[in-house]
Amino acid sequence: MALREINFDGIVGPTHNYAGLSLGNLASARNAGDVSRPRAAALQGIEKMRANLELGLAQGILLPHPRPHRAWLAELGTSIEEAEPALAANAMSSSAMWAANAATVSPSPDTLDGKCHLTVANLRTMPHRSHEWPATLAQLKIAFAGPDFAVHGPVPSAFGDEGAANHMRLTPGHGEPGVEVFVYGISGGAFPARQHLEASKAVARLHALDPDRVIFAEQSPDAIAAGAFHNDVVAVANERVLFAHEQAFADKEPMIAALQAAVPGFEYVEVPAAEVPLADAVRSYLFNAQLVTLPDGNPTLIVPGEARETASVWSWLERHVRGNGPIRRVEVVDVRQSMANGGGPACLRLRVVADPANIDPRFLVDGEKLNRIAAAVDRHWPEEIHHDDLQQPSLIADVERARAALLQELDLSELA
């Protein structure tokens, strides 16, 4: 098998809006009530994918979910037309665009049965995300239908699971056995800890992981309280490199020692709080970046434009690259519409290490397919949405037609 890391980006849906639904997500709260630009948001995401392809990376997609979520509203005894505005906003959310929360993925080199395992996240902490998993599971079962994959339903909702945003993998190379790090939370001050330890343990068991190559690490309560609602807001890993803020973990030393012992060539890159305060790291999404390995072997960090605009963050990155640190290159992308709702470059993608030949090709993209997707977005996505207009019949009809047009363009009508 020719295993590669593939980034599956969520296409920003036509209902992208700023309703401020995510407690603990400071950007979401800060921009609540602003006018959103779904068309611009989707096109920004497409351009990020195009830039990844130009860097030589493999790229896939996940599709917007049906919105409004009529079936969910029916379970609550109402409809999009009759629901209270707050409930309607939950049913119109486009948060499934943040594919890092779609599932947790364990590649075949790590699993005892030699399959790539994917467990869809239940996202039970936030109402607007708690109803995403059935539509996500439907896509995963199509995209990864072959015998090389095992796709699991969600962990029971007694235990919160937020997917790959709280999961890291360290390995000498993507196709080699790795150590999987599951990051959970216990306390976050005024904000909920979304990833439960029992959920992480369940996923590790479901994925048939070697217990000796699994680490459970607690996220720092200070990080959660500062707005790091997922671990990927304060830490990111790729192959041998773990890149983290000094205040990311409650007790980092045992984790670092275990990784040094188990991962040949392991490198830990820590950003001191004295140089980049936690508030700057969260606001800029320095760590909610894509840390990737380019075909030339250089570890590269793909950061949002806000990282370049935050003086402490950009100064640290420039010093690190000039000093020939483990991260050799920094690329900047514009995902401002996503950032304004609390999701950076890493939020938008789910990492899967697999042989592309074993994946349904409709979920893989090249430049030509991205052109077709962009054309569909240009034709059908709303230019603007104010959250007060989410129950307008004309908007509802427009966004349902928009998603249907994209499914037809990609020959994925079974997801209608």
Average pLDDT, stretch 218-236? 93
Q: What is the pLDDT of residues 261-298, one digit of tens each?
A: 999 999 999 999 999 999 999 999 999 999 999 999 99
90 pLDDT more than 90: yes
- How far apart are the C-alpha atoms of 105 and 118, rounded to whole Å? 5
Q: Which helix (H) or strand (E) holds 408?
A: helix 393-409
Per-residue pLDDT at 27: 57
Q: 220: domain CATH number?
A: 3.75.10.20
Q: What confidence score (pLDDT) does residue 260 get?
A: 98
Q: Which two tokens stand for residue 301?
A: 């960090």
> What is the model's pLDDT at position 22?
63
**Segments forming the whole domain that contains residue 334:** 4-415
Length of the chain, please? 416
Structure tokens at 65: 């979910």
Task: Spot the catalytic one: 174, 347, 380, 387.
Answer: 347
pLDDT at residue 119 is higher than 80? yes
Verify whether residue 65 is a known catalytic residue: no
Instruction: Tell me what the pLDDT averaged over the chain comes to.
Output: 95
162 is catalytic: yes
- The pTM for the full model equals 0.96
Of the residues 162, 180, 218, 239, which is catalytic?
162
Question: Contact, 180 vs 169, CB < 8 A?
Answer: yes
pLDDT band at 181 (very low <50, low <70, confident <90, very high): very high
**Predicted pLDDT of residue 187:** 79
Note the pLDDT of residue 262. Answer: 98
Residue 191 has pLDDT above 90, yes or no: no
Specify the pLDDT at position 190: 78
Q: How many domains would you assign to the chain?
A: 1
Report CA torsion sign: 188, 97, 138, 84. Answer: positive
Catalytic residue flag (residue 117): no
- Tell me if 153 sits within 8 A of 140, measured CB to CB: no
pLDDT of residue 195: 95
Partners of 268 in beta bridges: 242
Higher-scoring residue by pLDDT: 225, 24: 225
Q: Which is higher by pLDDT, 341 or 325?
A: 325
- Beta bridge partners, 219, equal 249
What CA–CA distance (Å, rounded) separates 343 from 345?
Answer: 7
Given the residues 117, 207, 230, 245, select the one marked as catalytic. 230
Question: What is the number of alpha carbons within 13 Å of residue 330 lying toward its C-beta?
Answer: 21
